[in-house]
Structure 1
Amino acid sequence: MTRLAAMFAMFLSLTAPHAWAEGTDMTEAVIIDGLTANLAEFKWTHRPLIVFADSPYDPAFVRQMELIEDDLPALVERDVVVLTDTDPSARSALRSALHPRGFGFVLVGKDGGIKLRKPSPWTVREISRTIDKMPMRQQEIRESR
């Protein structure tokens, strides 16, 4: 996927917060507004990466999203869907379930379990390494050979 296509996919996903519910092809819509997301929708199909902040202008949030946008194809390859939540006053289901404090991200496995929780931005390479060590991902790699 070219950088332009990735940016277009991100734009579409941000302007359509209900993209998942409407059956959007998740190989294109990687970044979704998490205010209305339900983690159960992704169980056994995707690895949600939930990025929280108290404002979309939080420098750590901005940096994390830049890092994600720099390598969207690596996330697509690992069945990652990025959910963003930058409005604490909305009291989303994600916030109720994961209890974030300020900026942070949470990686949830396909089994629905929390695999990683970090209070500072990480590169896609660092996130990918964590995913690639998971038993389910190891199985996916073996099956793809």
Structure 2
Amino acid sequence: MLSIFLTIPLTMHSQSLFEYQWKNRLIVIFTETSNSREFQKQMQILNQNQNQAGLNDRKIKVIHVIPDKHQIVFPEKSGWQNSNLYQKKESKIDFEVILIGLDGGVKLRETNPVEIEKLFDLIDSMPMRKAEMRRNDN
């Protein structure tokens, strides 16, 4: 997997995303507007009760990015913060979901809402997640 330093050069060095490296996995959702239909669908998937425990267990924070602003939307909702994250995204598509691993590497990019099973399966296949699960079993 490519490092986030190469694929989204701004992310771990600018704004506040650097603080999450080695602490949280990130789902970063880019949209043109705060009330995007695709964003609402993605949040509906993520906010289902049975999914929230899995998101917490996998140390996931969800960040919504629109032009000039971003906010955390899971596990707690923050206020909007000024941000240049949107301008640094690679895709010209209006909607994009990026999964960033604990190491800061981009693990997944999708231009449609992503089902929770796909996210969880991908995360659970990662070496650091496997180690976390082994530790939790003891």
Higher RCO by CA contacts (8 Å cutoff, separation 6 or greater): 2
Change (3 A) 1:56 1:67: same
Moved over 4 A (4+): none
Cα 1:78–1:37, aligned 2, differ >3 Å: closer, same or farther? farther
Give the aligned residue type for 1:61: F
- With the length of structure 2 as denominator, give the TM-score of the two structures: 0.71
- Alignment of 1:65 with 2:43, yes or no, is yes
Q: Which protein is richer in strand relative to its size?
A: 2
Residue in 2 aligned with 1:30? none
Any unmatched runs of 5+ in structure 1? 1-35
Does 2:111 correspond to 1:126? Answer: no
Identity %: 29
Q: Aligned to 1:130, what secondary structure does the other structure show?
A: helix
Q: Secondary structure at the match of 1:50?
A: strand
Give the SS at the match of 1:122. Answer: coil
1:37 positional shift: 5.2
Q: 1:143 to 1:97 in 2, by over 3 A?
A: farther
What is the distance in 2 between the residues matched to 1:74 and 1:133?
A: 14
Q: TM-score, normalised by structure 1?
A: 0.68
Q: 2:67 aligns with which of 64, 81, 88?
A: 88
The total of aligned residue pairs comes to 109
Q: What per-residue deviation string (whole Å, max 9, x for no partner) do you get for residues 65-110 of structure 1?
A: 111111211100100000011x224482432443343101100000
Q: Which has the higher helix share?
A: 1
Structure 1 stretch 94-103 or stretch 52-61: which is displaced more? 94-103
**Equivalent in the alignment of 1:99:** 90
1:46 matched residue in structure 2: 24
**Which amino acid in the other structure matches residue 136 of structure 2?**
S
